Structure 1
Amino acid sequence: MDVLETLRRICLALPEATERISHGAPTWAVRDKRTFVTFADHVHGDEHVAFWCPAPPGVQEEMVAVEPERFFRPPYVGPSGWLGVRLDGPDVDWDEITEIVTEAYRCVAPKTLVARLGTVIDQ
């Protein structure tokens, strides 16, 4: 399974999600404006294949404390509460990744698009 292609499929399934290259990495945004996922494959000096995304307040700290082998505080955006999620482990749970990406989308998308999530995810 190609990790980038699977992540791309998850991100682009969300309402009005777009993809572009930002700082040398594939990045997904809402309406080409608000970033909700950035792929990190050694582009920023990362040692892991991962993605970064915004998280609700307190989530980054909790997830990093509970599972530091899977979650981390990414450079640059970590101080703003973004979460780093490793994708290079042996047992990547794509259902959980879908939930994390969807929550990141909720953090930045307008309410009108968030309201459409139930119909998109149920398909």
Structure 2
Amino acid sequence: MTDRADVPSRVLEALREICATLPESHEEAAWVGTRWRVRRRTFVHVYTVRPGQDTVFGRASELDEPAVVMTFRAQPEEFEALVNGGEPFFRAAWGHDVVGMMVEPDVDWAEVKELLTESYRKFAPAKLARLLL
């Protein structure tokens, strides 16, 4: 793992609390940072990017300081609304439905919970998704 794995504990704890409510979701170390999965599919990934790093995000942004980035999946209409709305959201450089989000200190965790629940629903088996109703 690289130093991009050092996501602030307050962010990890908030995400753990959200993801603990999603049936059969589990946390694991990703190639960088941390991700949560349902079965074998990742529905949220969080990591830290530093200025000047040779990464897709690092090259596409002009960071002055480290930034915590979270990626998740969205339905087409939600995807367009989020990425076209601008900061803190952006279009991730991979996947047609992957939204990136800068996790800022004043993040609305209630909104994040809604977004991650929908991302989970995209990948969860129908039996598990129905448990969220």
Structure 2 length-normalised TM = 0.75
CA RMSD in angstroms comes to 1.9
Q: 2:32–2:47: 8 Å Cα contact kept in structure 1?
A: no
What is the letter of the counterpart of residue 48 of structure 2? D
Structure 1's unaligned 5+ residue stretches are 119-123
How far does the alpha carbon of each residue in 1:47-103 deviate from its partner, in whole angstroms, 9 at most, with x for none?
Answer: 52121011111322221212x11101123x3x4211112212x42111100000000
How far, CA to CA, are the matches of 1:22 and 1:91 in structure 2?
25
CA contact (8 A) 1:58 1:81 kept: no
SS state of the match for residue 42, structure 2? strand
Percent identity among equivalent residues? 38
Counterpart among 69, 88, 92 of residue 87 in structure 2: 69
How far the C-alpha of 1:24 sits from its partner, in A, is: 1.7
* Distance in 2 (alpha carbons) for counterparts of 1:74 and 1:23: 17
* Among candidates 73, 94, 97, match of residue 54 of structure 1: 73
Counterpart contact for 1:39–1:50, Cα < 8 Å: yes
Show the counterpart of 1:12.
Answer: 20
Stretches of structure 2 that go unaligned for 5 or more consecutive residues are 1-8
Q: Give the Cα separation in 2 of the matches to 1:60 and 1:73.
A: 8
Matched residue, 1:3: 11
SS in 1 for 2:74: coil
Question: Relative CO higher for 1 or 2, CA cutoff 8 Å, sep ≥ 6?
Answer: 1
Report SS of the residue matched to 1:58.
helix
1:64 and 1:71 in contact (8 A); partners too? yes
Larger radius of gyration: 2
SS in 1 for 2:92: coil
Q: Output the TM-score relative to the length of structure 1.
A: 0.81
8 Å Cα contact 2:45-2:71 kept in structure 1: yes
Q: How does 1:106-121 map to 2 (within 5 A)?
A: 106-118=121-133
Q: Distance in 2 between matches of 1:65 and 1:108?
A: 24
